[in-house]
Amino acid sequence: MLLTMDAPVLVTANEKMQMTQVKVDAPHPGEVRVKMFASGVCHSCLHAYDGSHATPMPIILGDEGSGVVESVGEGVTTLVPGDHVIISWLMNCGTCQACRNGKPAHCWAPSPFGALLDNTQRFHNAKTNENILHYGPATYAPYTVVPESSAIKIRKDMPLDKAALIGCSVTTGFGAVTNAAGARPGESVAVVGCGGVGLNSIQGARVSGAFPIIAIDTSEAALKMAVKLGATHTINAATEDVVAATKKICPRGVNYSIAAVGNTKAMISCLEMLSAGGTMVVLGAPPSGTTIEFDPTARILTGERRMIGSKYGSSNPHVEFPMLIELYLNGKLDLDSLLTGSYRLEEADKAFEVLAKGGHGRGLITFEQ
Ligand SMILES: NC(=O)c1ccc[n+]([C@@H]2O[C@H](COP(=O)([O-])OP(=O)(O)OC[C@H]3O[C@@H](n4cnc5c(N)ncnc54)[C@H](O)[C@@H]3O)[C@@H](O)[C@H]2O)c1
Ligand SMILES: [Zn+2]
Ligand SMILES: [Zn+2]
């Protein structure tokens, strides 16, 4: 059945989103339609909103959300209406060799940007009939449509607001340390950029038994939150020399540096603070087309250092979302302290303004139920 909803549509970068009447198609075979409960506000969407990432439009943003399955398409076998789900933004096919191998980030046939797997949209402007693009799972839509493999069923006693955060920032930040870096007890971890993603790298480091755990940010408020979530040391990047300050704590450099901000200067610092044998994990996404320069002999070769990328914390959401929920429900993962701002859908622009200032944990949009 076709539905109509009011959703914020980004038409021009650096301008407010337009609340638009949007028609939502019924899910196609292999897809599910989800009534959204909550959506976190991620800097990846802010990159599209402020134009730092070149993004086709008109588009509905949102990459981090939870909700309840409203209807399922033909052939869907793992979900029924009423199931509680966290949405994965990978939009992977679920059936290729990489997906079956638990590496959905390496999917051979993921949805093309702005569309579902069959390269078409489920959102249409109700007045003009123009197609509206999906920013991955488009979790700012009160109703969204995703492939079956992108809606991960969760236990019903998990609060859906906290669950939404697992859809991007928690899984990405946590997994960067536990999966991509693979930090072990007593190894040192520095996290550069302690926002929604980086704060969860701090938590991943804490749960892994890492020490010291060094939080680095330009905002004192972010550093305060980092300490609450497990950082043992802090460095203010606005006032201190980040590499020198890190080497005061770890004179031979750190085992792992996590670049959790889309800033090239911060990325160079991450490389320069590594010990011999150390690994830098790239999470942040600098503006489209930006590059960094470094001396490969001094920085990589002689110290056998590594620089690796981590998409979605190198996770398999079907395994990791339920695991993170268990950690939360058993007091091992703090999701409550991450939530610092609550917004109605109409206030999504305001949520971006707050996020852009830094130091604010995670804002959450909640939908009318
Ligand atoms: N790899 C992935 O799969 C993945 C997933 C989600 C987000 N991201 C990217 O990760 C980045 C962070 O996302 P977020 O939602 O946590 O953002 P955020 O805005 O919540 O956090 C960024 C933090 O960095 C701090 N900061 C800004 N400039 C800094 C500097 N020069 N040095 C140190 N700290 C600085 C800010 O104060 C803020 O606390 C973004 O680029 C986003 O696109 C990547
Ligand atoms: Zn995100
Ligand atoms: Zn696949």
Atom 21 of ligand 1, residue of closest alpha carbon: 195
CATH topology of domain 173-311: Rossmann fold (3.40.50)
For residue 325, the model assigns a pLDDT of 98
pLDDT band (50, 70, 90) for residue 360: confident
pLDDT at residue 196 in the model: 98
For the chain, residues classed under CATH 3.40.50.720 are 173-311
- Going edge to edge, which strands form the sheet with 189-192? 233-236, 213-217, 189-192, 254-259, 274-282, 306-309
Read off the pLDDT of residues 128-161 as tens digits, 9 standing for 90 and up. Answer: 999 999 999 999 999 999 999 999 999 999 999 9
pLDDT at 284: 98
Q: How confident is the model at residue 112 (pLDDT cuts 50, 70, 90)?
A: very high
The SS3 call for residue 344 is strand
Best of 50, 261, 267, 355 to mutate for ligand 1, by most ligand atoms within 8 A of CB? Answer: 261
For 263-316, what is each residue's pLDDT tens digit? Answer: 999 999 999 999 999 999 999 999 999 999 999 999 999 999 999 999 999 999
Residue 231's pLDDT band (boundaries 50, 70, 90)?
very high
| Residue keyed to tokens 């993921």 | 110
Q: Which ligand sits closest to the CA of 93? A: 3
Domain with CATH 3.90.180.10 in the chain: 3-167+335-366
Task: Give the fold, CATH level 3, of 3-167+335-366.
Answer: Quinone Oxidoreductase; Chain A, domain 1 (3.90.180)
Per-residue pLDDT of 46-97, as tens digits, reads: 999 999 999 999 999 999 999 999 999 999 999 999 999 999 999 999 999 9
Nearest ligand to residue 44 Cα? 1
Q: Which atom of ligand 1 is nearest to the CA of 53?
A: 43
Answer yes or no: is pLDDT of 359 > 90: no
What CA–CA distances, in Å, run from 353 to 138, 304, 339, 342? 19, 41, 16, 13
